[in-house]
Structure formats: C-alpha cells, structure tokens
A and B are shown apart, each in its own frame.
Chain A
Amino acid sequence: MSGFANERSMFTYVIGASILFLIGVFGTAYLPFYDDQMQAPNENAELRNYSVDSAEYRGREVYIREGCHVCHTMFVRPVLADSALGPISQPADYYYEAPAMLGSKRTGADLMWVGNRWNADWHREHLINPQKILPGSIMPRYDYLSEQDMEDLIAYLMSLKPSPQTEGRPVN
C-alpha cells in the first residue's frame, strides 16, 4: 500500500467529491429553474393559485396533513397507462404548486384532474366510507375530519379541473 503517495492527502478526495457533487447539483437541481418550459404559468396554474383565505387553499392543507399525496399522484404522462386520466401534464400546470405534489406512488388513482370525474356529494360519501362507494377499495375512511375540513378538502378536489385552454391538448 505504500506505493500510492497521492493517497496520503485528504484534499484530493474532499475537493474532488465536492466539485463532482456541485456539477450534478447545477445540472439537475439548479438549471431546471431556468428552462423556458418552467418559466411561465398557464391557465391551469392560475386556477390552482389559490388565495390563502379560500376553501381550496385550506382544503389543500388538509390534503397535505392527511398525507393524500402518499398514495395519489398528480402526474399524467403521455403513456398508455395514463390514457384515461385527462390532458397530459405540462410543467406550466405546476407553476405555483408549493410544495409540488406530483407524487411517486399510485396506491390510489391519479388526481391531477379529479375535479372532472365526480361531484361534491360523491366525494363526501366516498371520503366518509370509501368501501361503500367502491367495494374492495383499500382507501382509509376519513370520517374523523371536521365538517369544515371535509368541505374544504372537497372544494380543493373539485377545483382540480383542466382550464378551457387545456382542451385540445393531446390526452394520449
């Protein structure tokens, strides 16, 4: 082992590891902010840019608190597996999403445009007892939510609709 004199200094490793790390950070975590597609909001983004005192905003907070994003994505891809879910997601749709909840696991269905799918009464019944509406569902019951939380959450889910501008966007 004595023949590797260059391996006696910590600096090669410290500096090399730092530089390679920073290059990757620059490429994958910093540059995307400056990509044209990420720069501007569209109408969908405006529709989802809720004011802090709206029911939809509070509903989104309930959505986050209860961890809905753990099982539901908001991420429609140009692939066959997403062909019935609605318009394909574009970066501009998410412009104001903070925190972004595109998700990583579909234990339940995708919710990107769930506002188009059902009405408020359906959501209320379903959230209180999912198995009653969809026998065999493995979604937990949310019958413990306060009335306020429940109505806010439904308002948020119902707001997840594509804007008219999205019509004509390819769906598969």
Chain B
Amino acid sequence: MVTQTSNDTYQPTKVFFYSSLVWLVIGMIYGLILALKFIWPNFLVWGPLQVILQFGRIRPIHTNMLLFGWLTMANIGALFYVIPKLCRNQLSFPKMATFLGYFWNAIIVVGSVALTMGYTTVTEYGEWPLWIDILVVIGVGMLAMICFSTIANRNEKQLYVSLWYFMGSLIWLPGLYIIGNLPYKLLSGVPQFLIFWFYGHNVIGLWFTTVGVGLIYYLLPYLTKNALYSHRLSLIGFWTIATFYVWNGPHHLQNGPIPLWLMKAGIIPSVLLIIPVWAVLANVFGTLKGKWHAVAHNTPLKFLVTGAIFYLITCLQGPFQSLQGPSSIVKFTDWVPGHAHLPVFGAFSYVAFAVMYYVIPKIVYHHIYSNRMMETHFWLSTIGLLLFTFSTWTAGVFEGFAWIEGAQYGLQFVEMLVAMQPFFWIRAVGGTLMFLAQIFFIINLYKTIQLGKKSQNTNESSA
C-alpha cells in the first residue's frame, strides 16, 4: 500500500517550515513599510490604511511576526526534525505536533489582528494581549512536552551538545514568557520595566540564540564532514550561557533610574557573555579546520558560518554598547535597530536558512532545485543586511552626538532627522535587498518541494 502524507513522519516539520516562510514574507513587508515611513511619513496614508498601517501599531507587528511567526516556527520545525535524529527514534505525539503548527499559525493571526486594532501590553516583543499570551504558554507547554518526551524515550543514550541547548531553551522559553507577560496592570513602575527587559533580552538570548547554537552544533559536523572540534568547549559554552545570559536585562536601563547594584548586576554578565560566544566560535572554527574551501561552494555551510560570525559580532557589540560611556551616546538611537537585526536576521535566520536547505531535501526526497538561487539568496541577504546595519550604526552615532549638541526636541531634533535622510534611504535599500533575497529562497524551496512530489508520484506509480 502507498503511504500517504497523513502518515508522513515529517509532517510536523513541514507544517512549521512552510508556515514560517509565509510569515517571513509578510513580516518583512511590514518591515519595508516601516523603513519607507522613515523617508515618507505619509507613505500609504490612504483611507483605512492610515490607521491599519500606522507606524506605532505596525512596528510590534513586524517584530512579533518575524520573531514568533518566522524564526520561532522555523526553529520548532527544526527541533521536530533534529531531536528524533539525535535520539534515533520517532517524534512523540506526532499528531499533537502537527496540530501545534496550525495552532501556532492561529496565534500569529489573532496576535497581529489585536495589534492592528491597538490592543497592546507595551512589553517589547511581548505586545500581544494577555489572552493570546495564555494561548502561547499552552502552545509552548505542548512543544516542551513533545520534545522532552521524545528525548526521554531516546534509543541513543548519549545526549549530544545540541540536545543540552534544546532542553535548556525549552525550559527557559516558558519560564521567561510567563514572567515577562504577567498581567501588566498588576505590576508597575521601574521594576515592571525591568521585567519587560528581562523578557525582551532573554527571549533573544535563551530561546533564539540557544536553539540556534544547538542547530549550529548539529549541522556543522554534517556540512563539514569533520567531527566536532572540542567537547570541553561546548560544555563551557553551554554552562556559561546558562549562567550569565539571564542577568542581562538591566543593561537596557543603563544610565537610567535604577540602583547602582542593579546596573552592575546587568553589565558585568553582559561583558562575561563573551565567554560562551567565543566558546561556540572557537568550536566552529576548530571544526572547520581544513574544510574552509568547502565554504566557497557549499551555500548552506556558507549561511551557517556567516551566521556564526554575525553571532560573534553581535555579542562583541552588545557588551560594548551596554557600557556606561558608549550607552550614553548610542542608546535610543538608530544604532539599536541595527544591533537588533544582527542576531535575529544575521545570526539565527541564517542558521534557519542553512537548516532548511539541509533538511528540506531530506524530507521531500529531492535535492535543492537551484544552487544559483541559493547563492543569490545568500549574497542579497548579506549585502542588504550590511547596508542596513552600517547605515543604522552610522546614523545612530550621528544622532547621539547631535543630541549632545542640544538637538533634543522641537525644530533642532527635526533638523537632525532631516540630516539623517541619506541613511534612512540606505536602510530602505538594504531592507529591499534582504526582502528580495527571501523571494529567491521561497521560490527555490517551492520548486524543490514540487519536484519532490512529482518524483515521489512517479516512484509510487512505477512500484
């Protein structure tokens, strides 16, 4: 008998991967609209669109859709593929896993509608209203149950590095999501704002980062055909990120209304984060030893290595800008979105791209349709991101010094903004390239999936 898609063991991964691509496109369109509103504030101010696409309402839609629609769904799809491989078994509760995919999509839809209507909790990256947060926590609970149960029933006794990171992430995500999204009328003042940034920083560091690093550890030995360089480095990396990352929230209030002990408690671990980052990077470079030539013509590996390097840059830049002096210049400026795009697009979206280019051929049984399109995807993304980040960093430094000169409000502030227009243009061009790159990505994957279906059908009919 022919096995139909309903019995496909990769069905959960497929649901998550394919949905994430839709959110990638829509979320980036929102991002482009935001970038263009920096140049033409009245862009798309037309009938009801004036309200629906108002800057203050859609910026959280852009961030939430890309963080939870694109990158989280790509990560979950990857977890559902990688965990059973590392455990040499099947995913537990596969039906629930597929259901979770549809459930998660529904969350993104209602979350985006709520934000469009102006229902927001103000928590950065957690703006969705409380009732949606409850759905998220239920979803994350299901995710943790599926993954932990798969790991508990493993046939491979040894827990590979990636699994440590995945287990950590699956404990941290529900923890920080609940703490960060407590009903906002219950708390107040600066301690509440500290909780907002406890959440905002850690959702990047203890979910996107740790899943991404786990995926790097999984893919790198396959793509380089080298064994992992150092077991000890991976141990150091895991336990130091688990120790230091969670303390980073207070650096978002650098120079702000918080006691000195708290400022120190936030800054020192921020600087110490260089240890886990370097542990990962040393391991990546060590594993690549003798295989650097492969980076030139292996696009998934190129994405993975570039992603790792962007991760390094992010985590050298982050501690720097958390210090009192640099923070007094670049905090609140356009430097910040430049820094924020580096880990979520540069580092961990690149890892997700590499994962999809590696995993999709295995689950649709067909090699990637076009290598040239993969290369185009890489170069447009990278050039676009570099234009985006360098323009925002430069603009940020100028803005910081203009404020020091006194351009802090009114006409002087606006004069400073007018002077920044060339940088806003470069940012928009960079963003456009990043967006175009994803069109190549998606068309390429779509063709691959279609070819996979076709060849499977011919196999079945000839069998």
Q: How far is the CA of A91 from the CA of B255 in the complex (A)?
A: 12
> With A94-B190, A140-B55 given, is the CB distance from A134 to B410 under 8 Å?
yes
Q: How far is the CA of A159 from the CA of B331 in the complex (A)?
A: 26
Q: Do A10 and B265 touch (CB < 8 A)?
A: no
Q: How far is the CA of A136 from the CA of B400 in the complex (A)?
A: 19
CB neighbors of B among A93-128 (8 A): 93-110, 117
Shortest beta-carbon distance from B279 to chain A in Å: 16
CB neighbors of A among B177-207 (8 A): 179, 184-196, 198, 206
Is A132 at the interface (CB under 8 A from chain B)?
no
Q: Do A100 and B41 touch (CB < 8 A)?
A: no
Q: Do B151 and A135 touch (CB < 8 A)?
A: no
Q: How far is the CA of A76 from the CA of B205 in the complex (A)?
A: 27
Stretch at the interface among B72-80, B105-113, B168-176: B168-176
Q: Do B55 and A13 touch (CB < 8 A)?
A: no
Contacts of A102 in B (CB 8 A): 190, 193, 253, 256-257
Q: Do A75 and B256 touch (CB < 8 A)?
A: yes
Is B152 at the interface (CB under 8 A from chain A)?
yes
Nearest CB to that of B412 among chain A residues? A84
Is B90 at the interface (CB under 8 A from chain A)?
no
Contacts of B198 in A (CB 8 A): 25, 28-29
> With A28-B250, A117-B410 given, is the CB distance from A140 to B45 under 8 Å?
yes
Residue among B120, B252, B257, B417 making CB contact with A138, cutoff 8 Å: B417
> With A13-B159, A97-B189, A140-B45 given, is the CB distance from A85 to B122 under 8 Å?
no
Stretch at the interface among B346-354, B401-409, B434-442: B401-409
Q: Do A4 and B231 touch (CB < 8 A)?
A: yes
> With A10-B151, A14-B171, A66-B54 given, is the CB distance from A4 to B158 under 8 Å?
yes
CB neighbors of B among A56-109 (8 A): 64-71, 73, 75, 77-85, 88-91, 93-109
Shortest beta-carbon distance from A131 to chain B in Å: 7
Residue among A35, A84, A106, A140 making CB contact with B262, cutoff 8 Å: A35
Is A170 at the interface (CB under 8 A from chain B)?
no
* Interface size band for A: 35 or more
* Interface size band for B: 35 or more
Contacts of A163 in B (CB 8 A): none
Q: Do B56 and A21 touch (CB < 8 A)?
A: no
Q: How far is the CA of A137 from the CA of B412 in the complex (A)?
A: 10
Q: Do A13 and B168 touch (CB < 8 A)?
A: yes
Q: How far is the CA of A17 from the CA of B179 in the complex (A)?
A: 16
Q: Do A109 and B410 touch (CB < 8 A)?
A: yes
Q: Do B41 and A28 touch (CB < 8 A)?
A: no
Contacts of B239 in A (CB 8 A): 16, 20
Is B379 at the interface (CB under 8 A from chain A)?
no
> With A14-B167, A91-B258 given, is the CB distance from A79 to B120 under 8 Å?
no
Q: How far is the CA of A130 from the CA of B172 in the complex (A)?
A: 44
Is A47 at the interface (CB under 8 A from chain B)?
no
Residue among A81, A91, A130, A131 making CB contact with B408, cutoff 8 Å: A81
Is A139 at the interface (CB under 8 A from chain B)?
yes
Contacts of A97 in B (CB 8 A): 188-189, 192
Q: Interface residues of A: mostly helix, strand, loop or mixed?
A: loop
> With A64-B122, A81-B404, A137-B414 given, is the CB distance from A38 to B190 under 8 Å?
yes
Stretch at the interface among B291-299, B302-310, B332-340: B332-340
Stretch at the interface among B91-99, B241-249, B444-452: B241-249
Q: How far is the CA of A36 from the CA of B400 in the complex (A)?
A: 32
> With A70-B56, A141-B42 given, is the CB distance from A90 to B257 under 8 Å?
yes
Contacts of B194 in A (CB 8 A): 28-29, 32
Q: How far is the CA of A70 from the CA of B127 in the complex (A)?
A: 11
Is B60 at the interface (CB under 8 A from chain A)?
yes
Is B411 at the interface (CB under 8 A from chain A)?
yes
Contacts of A73 in B (CB 8 A): 332
Is A24 at the interface (CB under 8 A from chain B)?
yes
Is A148 at the interface (CB under 8 A from chain B)?
no
Is B157 at the interface (CB under 8 A from chain A)?
yes
Residue among B151, B246, B403 making CB contact with A81, cutoff 8 Å: B403
Shortest beta-carbon distance from B307 to chain A in Å: 23
Q: Do A10 and B410 touch (CB < 8 A)?
A: no
Contacts of B186 in A (CB 8 A): 98
Contacts of A1 in B (CB 8 A): 158, 160, 231
Q: Do A25 and B246 touch (CB < 8 A)?
A: yes
Is B329 at the interface (CB under 8 A from chain A)?
yes
Is B51 at the interface (CB under 8 A from chain A)?
yes
Contacts of B400 in A (CB 8 A): 81
Shortest beta-carbon distance from A95 to chain B in Å: 5
Contacts of A165 in B (CB 8 A): none
> Given known contacts A4-B158, A100-B196, A102-B257, what 16 new A-B pairs fall within 8 Å (CB)?
A10-B152, A17-B167, A17-B168, A23-B246, A25-B198, A28-B249, A35-B262, A64-B122, A84-B406, A98-B184, A105-B337, A110-B408, A136-B417, A137-B414, A140-B54, A141-B45
Q: List 13 A-B contacts (CB under 8 A).
A: A1-B231, A8-B159, A18-B175, A28-B266, A38-B191, A66-B57, A67-B60, A79-B328, A84-B408, A85-B409, A99-B196, A137-B414, A144-B51
